[in-house]
Amino acid sequence: MTACSGGSSSDDSTETSPTVVSLDELIDRGATFEDLFGTINVDSDELADAVTPAEDIPTSGSATYTGIVFMGDMEFVAIGSTTMTANFTDSSISGSSDNFFLTDDPNIADLADVTGERIDGSLTYELDRATDNSNLYTGQFVGAFTPTGEDEINIDVPGGGAFLGENLDGFATEGFDDDGNFAGILVTKD
């Protein structure tokens, strides 16, 4: 017979709390992207010029990216934190987003001017490489956010994007639906 001498028991599981990201940290992430590629505008000539040639995308391995996500509708825009994993072996991308802030001005021209309040929200996305092996990844963005005092806004939009830079230094994507809902990500390699 074995005696227990008090104390505490322990198991091998560890509980991880979500990382809290401030609005300033999100703005810094956007600035990092802008420093690398000259803009945060997904439709810009600068990003078009920075698209990684398709033949430079690996066919094995993986890479992780961190950055910012935008999602919204015709009235409200939220900015949040996103992490993305590129799986080059199966030509897929997946990511999740949290730590959202409702922006005070939905027409974001300069991230340094973004102010807003923390809100509940989440977004996930899965993208697959085009069957012609171009540098186009398409898929779906699904999520929701709740502006204070408003109904939840659901996002379920198709989107597409591409790797950027000589060393796949970043990835940018955006998607829209017919109702004016949208989502987009700007990430840089970890």
Per-residue pLDDT reduced to its tens digit, 122-134: 999 999 999 999 9
The DSSP secondary structure of 150-186, one letter per residue, reads: S--EEEEEEEEEEEETTTT-EEEEEEE-TTS-EEEEE
Q: How high is the pLDDT of residue 18? A: 59
Residue type (1 letter), 142: V
pLDDT in tens, 23-44: 999 999 999 999 999 988 888 8
| Mean pLDDT across the chain | 88
Query: What average pLDDT does range 127-146 have in this prediction?
Result: 96
What domains can be seen in the chain, in order of their start residue? 23-189 (2.40.160.90)
Banded pLDDT at 109 (limits 50, 70, 90): low
pLDDT of residue 5: 36
Contact 125, 85 (CB under 8 A): no
* Per-residue model confidence (pLDDT) at position 34: 92
Span 92-121, average pLDDT: 86
CA angle centred on 67, ends 175 and 122, rounded to 5°: 60
pLDDT value of residue 106: 67
